[in-house]
A = this chain, B = another copy of it.
């Protein structure tokens, strides 16, 4: 392991000078020394020891991407702890800016605090945070925090979100415009201040606007694992009154379609289905899925930009960015006006 000291000796200068050159504090160093140091760095293959830096400088260049697991949830592919859609995008942007990404699951608030102290973590990403004790802990941290897909807000915290309300509204409105009146709402558990809650409000408002009474018995909340979603589909097949379903996730929509199919119902002839997210799957099912599109990689990228700005103490113009959605029309919804 080549160290700064090795470079200093090779060149015949002090550690200070080497350190200064490395950090571009090149104002008070002669041009010649600079080149000689840089040559030595290349030749000897110097690589900074981040632990040492971190120890002395209270900046570690470590960014945590944490996922908060409510106590004993089972890990499944659906319940992907790391929201794989945008994590690649996050790692890339972070790396290009000289940061390192640590993935960590925490169960309790003190798990989080310990983790942050362990590595002197510089900044944090979290997804799907609710208004709870965990969020409170987040707000009192002294490091930048960027929340993704969370409807909790605080002056200390930046948010990257989606037009969830609009998405729910747009989807429902689309179904209404196609002549549907008995529209089921399928989603995971509708938690206050969560993305699903917002989509739910959009659903309800679209109904109200069309003077269609909201009925609680058209709301179906359940887990997103494959077996459960398929079961919901077969259950919906027995409900003669329902002509359309709005599912708040494509994976859920697909499961419902599979269940309907298994029960002998045809989509969209017998019942229409709308999804949300516009993942690849939507183009692979038969019929293809009409859905609300969102740009996950962009979400990741924006989240990083937010964090970088805060880390570099740039003025934060706004604490929040909301990505637009749009409807992608495919085959899973049928018009009742024919």
Interface residues, chain A, with chain B CB atoms under 8 Å away = 1, 47-52, 54-55, 60, 75-85, 87-89, 91-92, 95, 100-105, 113-114, 117-120, 226, 230, 251, 254-255, 257-258, 261, 279-281, 283-286, 288, 296-297
Q: Are B76 and A80 in contact (CB under 8 A)?
A: no
Query: In the complex the two chains form, what is the Cα distance from A120 to B254 in whole Å?
Result: 45
Q: Are A101 and B100 in contact (CB under 8 A)?
A: no
Query: In the complex the two chains form, what is the Cα distance from A257 to B84 in whole Å?
Result: 25
Q: Which residues of B contact A113 (CB under 8 A)?
A: 47
Query: In the complex the two chains form, what is the Cα distance from A94 to B317 in whole Å?
Result: 39
Q: List 23 A-B contacts (CB under 8 A).
A: A47-B117, A47-B118, A49-B117, A76-B89, A77-B88, A80-B88, A81-B84, A81-B88, A82-B88, A84-B87, A92-B105, A95-B104, A100-B118, A100-B119, A101-B102, A103-B103, A226-B280, A226-B283, A255-B284, A258-B283, A258-B284, A258-B286, A284-B285
Query: In the complex the two chains form, what is the Cα distance from A87 to B113 in whole Å?
Result: 23
Copies in the complex: 2
A120 to B: closest C-beta gap in Å? 6
For the complex with contacts A77-B88, A254-B284, A258-B283, 11 further pairs of A-B residues with Cβ separation under 8 Å are A51-B55, A75-B89, A75-B92, A77-B84, A77-B91, A78-B82, A81-B88, A82-B84, A82-B91, A230-B283, A285-B286
Q: Are B92 and A76 in contact (CB under 8 A)?
A: yes
**A53 (CB) vs chain B CBs: closest residue:** B51
Query: In the complex the two chains form, what is the Cα distance from A261 to B85 in whole Å?
Result: 27
A231 to B: closest C-beta gap in Å? 12
A83 to B: closest C-beta gap in Å? 8
Q: Are A47 and B114 in contact (CB under 8 A)?
A: yes
A208 to B: closest C-beta gap in Å? 32
Q: Are A51 and B82 in contact (CB under 8 A)?
A: no
Query: In the complex the two chains form, what is the Cα distance from A251 to B280 in whole Å?
Result: 9
Q: Are B51 and A288 in contact (CB under 8 A)?
A: no
Q: Which residues of B contact A83 (CB under 8 A)?
A: 84
Query: In the complex the two chains form, what is the Cα distance from A256 to B49 in whole Å?
Result: 49
Q: Which residues of B contact A77 (CB under 8 A)?
A: 81, 84-85, 87-88, 91, 279-280, 296
**A229 (CB) vs chain B CBs: closest residue:** B284
Q: Are A88 and B95 in contact (CB under 8 A)?
A: no
A236 to B: closest C-beta gap in Å? 15
Query: In the complex the two chains form, what is the Cα distance from A283 to B103 in whole Å?
Result: 30
Q: Which residues of B contact A105 (CB under 8 A)?
A: 88, 91-92, 95
Query: In the complex the two chains form, what is the Cα distance from A83 to B75 in whole Å?
Result: 15
Q: Which residues of B contact A55 (CB under 8 A)?
A: 49, 51-52, 55
Q: Are A281 and B281 in contact (CB under 8 A)?
A: yes
Q: Which residues of B contact A104 (CB under 8 A)?
A: 91, 95, 100-101
Most buried by B among A50, A254, A257: A50
Q: Are A103 and B91 in contact (CB under 8 A)?
A: yes
**A55 (CB) vs chain B CBs: closest residue:** B51
4 smallest beta-carbon distances between A and B, as pairs: A76-B88, A84-B84, A47-B117, A51-B54
